[in-house]
Amino acid sequence: MTAINEVADLSYEGEIAILTLNSPPVNALAAPVRDGLSLGVKQAAANPEAKAIVIICLGRTFIAGADITEFGKPPKGASLLDTISTMEDAAIPVIAAIHGTALGGGLEVALACHYRVAVPSAKCGLPEVNLGLLPGAGGTQRLPRAIGPEMALGMVTSGEHIGAAHCLKLGLLDAVVEEGKLREGAVAFARQVIDEKRSLRRLRDIDDKLIAARARPEMFQQFRQVNAKKFRGFQSPESNIRCIEAAVNLPFDEGIKVERKLFMELMSGVQSAAQRYAFFAERAVWKLPDVPDDTPTLPVAKVGVIGAGTMGGGIAMNFLNAGIPVTIVETRQDALTRGLVTIRMNYENTVKRGRLTMPDVEKRMALLKGTLSLDDLADRDLIIEAVFENMELKKEVFGKLDKIAKQGAILATNTSYLNVDEIASATTRPESVIGWHFFSPANVMRLLEVVRGARTSKPVIATSMQMARKIGKVAALVGVCPGFVGNRMLAQRQREAQKLILEGVMPWDVDRVLYHFGFPMGPFQMSDLAGLDIGWSKEKSTSSTIREILCEMDRRGQKTGAGFYDYDADRNAKMSPVVEKIILEFAAKKGITRRAINDAEILERCIYPMINEGAKILEEGKAIRASDIDVVWINGYGWPVYRGGPMFFGDTMGLDKVLAKMRQFESEMGPEFAPSKLLEKLADEGKRFLDMR
Ligand code: 3HC
Ligand code: NAI
């Protein structure tokens, strides 16, 4: 065995050269890996004894892509395009042997090989689009030659990871070999290639699938139309589509030029910077400064959920999906039955969409038990309370749990706003109490705010984060304050939205601006969807806000056919003349002189106070890092990932600009705009939230 460099070595099995890469954790294509590949292939190809080269990786995966940490830094070593040309131009067959995931630049390396083999568990994908990029090492030109432009369009714009069996069918792989025997399988395949004197299959020279596609030029426009909603606001899907179009219509080398130009444009843009930041932000959340990785965790084999309403049902489904048995408690049989039926219905709807089978549903439902007695939670390792948002009730439930739950059990509350420490005070074991704030629908939304109380123990925190990961959530550890991170910042936006409609604009103006910013919907559309009557009661209503007036008129949102908007039978929203009149009359009654407010002010009024609140949250130590706040907003509130989250957006705008606006608003409108000390400090020092690490 010969070492090529610190990450690559070359060995031989008879006439077959085996180039092995070992660059943990994911064999990303950093400079040494690129150098190892180029030099290794050159050296093997120059050996007159060698008849084929197998490229294989050690560790958990084949190459998972370019090294994202290198982006934006000065280039070092062999370029990826040159490395890939060296492989493709080799005079003897080069075979990629894939396990784990061949992603991005990793799949591009494999596509430059003459053949590809993989184990059944392997997956291939071009996920660059999720980083605001496109495959920039020939992937957009070689992939459509391998699998046809229609399939390639889907792959590059979704970033989906495709399993080996499907890849084989598509023509992306040439063989699937026995699990656990990749090296032997790849060597046997190489021998077959040599024995059968197969040609060097260079994808760049193969264009039968492209010729067929040239007869269907309309497919690109159709693809754009079908996916318009999904791609809205993102730049990279369109650039990816244009590259596949170039592959179909231009010679290979010209197509590569288009790919390079569009790749460089995306790479230097703010969207990709935001999406790459989000990638690392989602991985940073698990790193807890005062709860090290070796903190002991508690075993969680059985879960209890209290309340089978909107949240309780969804929460239970997360654990059932992970194969963990759940007992769910209600106060009345009808509520329990309704909760259990809803869970089953949700699963059966997933079956209808083809994403689950009926036996899967039965397996999950068999893990679920409903009960009317809290005593049935005595053997549970983790109990999550999701009863009504009422402090007295929650304290009563926790007081009872304290007597019932076994020692060491984690007692979690799904409260949205209430003080976790006060809830914990109803028990004799506050160290076991923690907030698990799920988002609705709890079985779908990826975000979980894990709320540490003043006395929550480190093992309880570590176990909560570990379990969150196990059930597929992205969790941010936050501190106790009203609304925690997400809802606390949301309250700023909601307050300004309500003020804006009295001062001069209409709900649809605010919604339009926030929709164009990239949110899936604006605050008034969101209220109509959720129901205006959350927390409203007829008895206590005094017509003191627009919302109260609308509820009193039974305009309680989409469910009653009217709210801030009017709705037709298909729930299409229309601007409402009735609401317009109510707003104008209400503003007049309050003595507000309405004025023209432009879109820029709407946006600044809604977003800048959120950034300022985020700064206060950091100042108070209620979030560990600015990027955790961004993870909350991207995964829990539909903040457009291509804008990186509110804190990243503040950095992009320039904190001096944000501060200047907050000061201006404070002097014009009042103390709710008072800038946080942290914002002032960072702006004065010319720094960003990102610099705080
Ligand atoms: N570059 C640099 N670091 C990477 C990386 C990459 N491409 N992929 C993963 N890592 C790092 C992660 O940041 C993490 O670091 P940490 O432990 O310090 O937090 C570590 O590797 C392990 O990653 P995960 O925690 O994500 O491990 P998983 O096992 O859950 O997932 C994975 C593995 C599926 C490979 C996942 O990491 C992933 O999706 N990686 C990104 C793949 C990707 O986007 N590739 C395309 C890159 S762009 C490109 O190739 C451009 C080219 O076309 C020119
Ligand atoms: P819900 O009203 O849909 O369900 C609450 C359920 O708890 C009801 O079925 C009720 O019968 C049951 N319940 C009440 N007292 C009980 C008791 N003593 N023992 C057992 N069951 C009892 O309410 P929802 O929306 O599910 O909210 C529950 C909690 O989750 C609240 O704290 C809420 O703030 C929080 N939350 C709600 C979100 C949402 O979007 N709905 C999002 C995140 C958190």
The string of DSSP letters for 585-599 reads: HHHHHTT-------H
Task: Return the pLDDT at 269.
Answer: 97
Give tens-digit pLDDT for 34-49: 999 999 999 999 999 9
254 has catalytic annotation? no
Kindly indicate the confidence band of residue 131, based on its pLDDT and cuts at 50, 70 and 90: very high
What is the architecture, at CATH level 2, of domain 303-482?
Answer: 3-Layer(aba) Sandwich (3.40)
Of 177, 636, 280, 273, give the one whose Cα is nearest residue 446.
Answer: 636
Task: Return the pLDDT at 77.
Answer: 87
505-512+519-589 and 599-691: identical CATH topology:
yes
Whole-number percent of the chain with pLDDT over 70: 100
Q: In 285-326, which ranges are continuous DSSP H helix?
A: 310-321
Backbone φ and ψ for 294, nearest 5 degrees, come out as -90, 15
Q: What is the mean pLDDT of the chain?
A: 97
Q: Which ligand is nearest to the CA of 327?
A: 2
* Selected residue with higher pLDDT from 77 and 689: 689
Interatomic CA distance for residues 152 and 469, integer angstroms = 31
Q: In 285-390, which ranges are continuous DSSP H helix?
A: 310-321, 333-352, 358-366
Task: Return the pLDDT at 473.
Answer: 98
Q: In this structure, which CATH number among 1.20.1250.20, 3.40.109.10, 1.10.357.10, 1.10.1040.10 belongs to the domain 505-512+519-589?
A: 1.10.1040.10
Of 311, 343, 290, give the one whose Cα is nearest residue 465.
Answer: 290
What's the 519 CA to ligand 1 centre distance in angstroms? 27
Which residue is associated with the tokens 């426009």? 221
Domain ranges for the chain, please list them.
2-267, 303-482, 505-512+519-589, 599-691
Q: How many CB atoms lie within 10 A of CB 112?
A: 29
238 has catalytic annotation? no
Task: Return the pLDDT at 534.
Answer: 86
Check if 235 has its Cβ closer than 6 Å to any atom of ligand 2: no
Q: Which ligand is nearest to the CA of 133?
A: 1
Which residue is associated with the tokens 């060597």? 187
Decide if pLDDT at 138 tops 80. yes
Interatomic CA distance for residues 631 and 588, integer angstroms = 41
Kindly indicate the confidence band of residue 289, based on its pLDDT and cuts at 50, 70 and 90: very high
* Strand 94-98 versus strand 52-57 pairing type: parallel
Mean pLDDT of 558-578: 95
Q: Which ligand is nearest to the CA of 386?
A: 2
With both helix axes pointing from N to C terminus, report the angle between 577-589 and 486-503 in degrees, rounded to the nearest 10: 80
Written as one letter, the residue type at 133 is L
Task: Return the pLDDT at 1.
Answer: 87
Decide if pLDDT at 133 tops 90. yes
Kindly indicate the confidence band of residue 554, based on its pLDDT and cuts at 50, 70 and 90: very high
Task: Return the pLDDT at 195.
Answer: 97
Mean pLDDT of 595-624: 98
What's the 603 CA to ligand 2 centre distance in angstroms? 33
Interatomic CA distance for residues 52 and 45, integer angstroms = 8
Best probe residue, ligand 2, of 317, 416, 529, 537 (max atoms within 8 Å of C-beta): 416
Give tens-digit pLDDT for 175-191: 999 999 999 999 999 99
What's the 396 CA to ligand 2 centre distance in angstroms? 14
Task: Return the pLDDT at 48.
Answer: 96
Decide if pLDDT at 128 tops 80. yes
What's the 389 CA to ligand 2 centre distance in angstroms? 7
Task: Return the pLDDT at 75.
Answer: 86
Whole-number percent of the chain with pLDDT over 90: 98
Q: Given the residues 49, 70, 88, 128, select the one marked as catalytic.
A: 128
Nearest CA to ligand 2 atom 25: 310
Kindly indicate the confidence band of residue 535, based on its pLDDT and cuts at 50, 70 and 90: confident
Q: Which residues contact 321 (CB under 8 A, 6 or more apart)?
A: 364, 443, 471, 472
Which residues have C-beta atoms less than 6 Å from ligand 1? 25-26, 28, 61, 64-69, 80, 101, 103-105, 108, 127-128, 131, 133, 135-137, 139, 283
Kindly indicate the confidence band of residue 516, based on its pLDDT and cuts at 50, 70 and 90: very high
**What's the token pair of residue 147?**
């699998």
Interatomic CA distance for residues 32 and 378, integer angstroms = 55
Best probe residue, ligand 1, of 21, 68, 134, 155 (max atoms within 8 Å of C-beta): 68
Task: Return the pLDDT at 2.
Answer: 92
Atom of ligand 2 nearest to the CA of 530: 40
CATH 3.90.226.10 corresponds to the domain 2-267: yes
Handedness of CA 390, 393, 399, 401 (dihedral sign): negative
Strand order in the sheet with 162-163: 101-103, 123-125, 162-163
Q: How many CB atoms lie within 10 A of CB 417?
A: 14
Of all helices (H) and strands (E), which one includes residue 608?
helix 599-619
Rg (CA), the chain: 29
Interatomic CA distance for residues 419 and 90, integer angstroms = 66
What is the architecture, at CATH level 2, of domain 599-691?
Answer: Orthogonal Bundle (1.10)
Kindly indicate the confidence band of residue 578, based on its pLDDT and cuts at 50, 70 and 90: very high
Check if 389 has its Cβ closer than 6 Å to any atom of ligand 2: yes
Check if 387 has its Cβ closer than 6 Å to any atom of ligand 2: yes
Mean pLDDT of 539-560: 95
Kindly indicate the confidence band of residue 277, based on its pLDDT and cuts at 50, 70 and 90: very high
Q: Which ligand is nearest to the CA of 111?
A: 1
Kindly indicate the confidence band of residue 162, based on its pLDDT and cuts at 50, 70 and 90: very high
Interatomic CA distance for residues 116 and 189, integer angstroms = 9
Check if 314 has its Cβ closer than 6 Å to any atom of ligand 2: no
What's the 26 CA to ligand 1 centre distance in angstroms? 7
Q: Say if CB 152 and CB 143 are below 8 A apart.
A: yes
Decide if pLDDT at 693 tops 80. no
**What's the token pair of residue 114?**
């003459």
Task: Return the pLDDT at 4.
Answer: 96
